[in-house]
Amino acid sequence: MGNGFTEVTNPMRYRIFSFSAFLILTLILGAYQYAGCQDTATEGSPILYNMDSGESPERQTLKESGDTVWRKDVNSGCSYVDHNITINIPVEPDEISDAKITMTNEDVDYIDPDEVCRGGPEVDYLYINGNFIGRLEGANNSWSTNIFSFPSSYLKKGDNLIFVDTDATNTDCWCVGVGYVEISGKVGFRVASTTPEDGQENVPWDAPGITVTFSQEVKKESVSNDTIILEYRNQQGVWTKVNTEVKMVSATKAQVTPPGNLLDGIRYRMRVVDGPQGVLAKGDGRCSITLGVGGLDRRWSFSASNSPSLFASSFARTWSR
């Protein structure tokens, strides 16, 4: 005791050992999670892919909208030659929906009001992997943004060629610049469509036809009336669950059947539960799948009626909000 050190008692040793074990376990689990999920992009933390070209590497970022964006900064300046740009997409095309391409362009003289070029107005065509996307639009001596939707089947996992056919009509008059290119879309397991649609009114109370279609094949064991929920507000304003039958009618579509007729004029809410205890895709061992359906519970509502020609009653407006 006189050597300047305090003796560590047995309880103290036990607490130190317990804390050390907890810390080591936490580090191991964190390392495991990182190893399994390192391909998941997060807002503000872009993933970089180094390219062989002189262009800047593209960035993959998950936006608040739920879209994954792959971006390449080109900054070519106005050029009379064609543009060949490569963007690497690290997922399969069938995992992408609502695909779009966004490109900023300099000096696209879409209309030639002064007819300064005898060959005609400027025509610049955009292609993805040889598939025609559209004609670029813009204005003289200024920057413009072109956005096109296209089928995700035009993409491929790996390098994708973005081609701009500059001055496609060969007038020898026109140049076009490329600032940046973005390919975007929703990636992964999610709700693709529903019936009734969100906000639909006067849904037949005796045959509402409630279905939920997912973007990928669903793990059947994860589907029940606890993970796909039909509910409404009672007169006390409390959400009340309907004891429905929920079953898969195809690999990607679930059907929700109420035990009887729905209540006339009542606004119902559908809810798909997310996360490990919610609806999962088949093969849910992958991190992109175990996150569930879109990162948040998916919710939508509709109003039931016993007469399609009538609007919801004042009772429904009062108690279903």
Q: Are 189 and 216 in contact (CB under 8 A)?
A: yes
Within 10 Å of residue 107's Cβ, how many Cβ atoms?
19
Q: How far apart are CA 23 and CA 113, in angstroms?
A: 71
Q: Mean pLDDT over residues 224-245, rounded?
A: 94
Return the CATH architecture of domain 191-319.
Answer: Sandwich (2.60)
pLDDT of 144 > 50? The answer is yes
Radius of gyration of the chain (CA): 28
Domain 47-187 has CATH 2.60.120.1200: yes
Would you list the domain boundaries of the chain?
Answer: 47-187, 191-319
Q: What is the pLDDT of residue 2?
A: 39
Read off the pLDDT of residues 13-43 as tens digits, 9 standing for 90 and up. 545 455 555 555 545 444 433 333 333 333 3
Of 101-105, 127-131, 304-308, the one with minimum mean pLDDT is: 304-308
Q: What is the pLDDT of residue 121?
A: 87
Q: What is the pLDDT of residue 244?
A: 97
210-214 vs 191-195, strand pairing mode = antiparallel
Q: How far apart are CA 172 and CA 126, in angstroms?
A: 18
Task: Give, in order, the Cα–Cα distances in Å from 123 to each of 39, 126, 169, 173, 271.
Answer: 39, 10, 6, 10, 48
Tell if the pTM clears 0.75, that is, is over it.
no
Task: Give, in order, the Cα–Cα distances in Å from 38 to each of 49, 71, 96, 157, 297.
Answer: 14, 19, 19, 18, 23
Rounded to the nearest integer, the mean pLDDT of the chain is 77
Read off the pLDDT of residues 43-98 as tens digits, 9 standing for 90 and up. 332 222 223 333 455 666 666 666 789 999 999 989 999 999 999 998 888 878 88
Q: What is the pLDDT of residue 284?
A: 58
